[in-house]
């Protein structure tokens, strides 16, 4: 099950069912099984508070994910700052929707075992993101 939640912002996904099916298909293609994912779309202030409280990072970020997966069973909470996504879309000269979809699938790829700490890991992550973004269309 995939849940979409909206905290203290005037925003909602345009097509939750389409996005949910895309995420589910991505998990399946990566040979994992979906248990439950909760997306929480919020503002910078909300996400910054989580970043400080749980990760001891006093910085703004676009996404924080809490992974509760066990083996190949995917479950977790993914928090996304809509403000950061908007700013990043401008910085990277892409549409807001494309950047939002990239961040949405980025969290899932982390749950599927992909990392992005090194240059080589980040390259693989970006290739996977692009692969799945094409599937969404």
Binding residues, as ranges, are 106, 110, 116
Say how many CA atoms lie within 13 Å of 18 toward its Cβ: 8
Residue list, annotated binding site for Zn(2+): 106, 110, 116
């Amino acid at each position: 099950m995939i849940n979409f939640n909206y905290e203290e912002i005037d925003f909602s996904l345009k097509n939750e069912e389409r996005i949910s099916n895309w995420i589910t298909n991505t998990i399946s293609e990566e040979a994992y099984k979906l248990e439950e994912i909760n997306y929480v779309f919020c503002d910078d202030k909300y996400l910054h508070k989580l970043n400080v409280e749980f990760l001891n990072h006093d910085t703004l970020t676009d996404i924080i994910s809490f992974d509760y997966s066990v083996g190949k069973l995917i479950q977790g909470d993914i928090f996304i700052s809509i403000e950061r996504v908007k700013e990043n879309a401008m910085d990277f000269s892409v549409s807001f929707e494309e950047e939002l979809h990239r961040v949405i699938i980025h969290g899932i790829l982390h749950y599927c075992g992909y990392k992005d700490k090194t240059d080589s890991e980040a390259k693989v992550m970006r290739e996977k993101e692009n692969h799945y973004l094409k599937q969404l269309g």
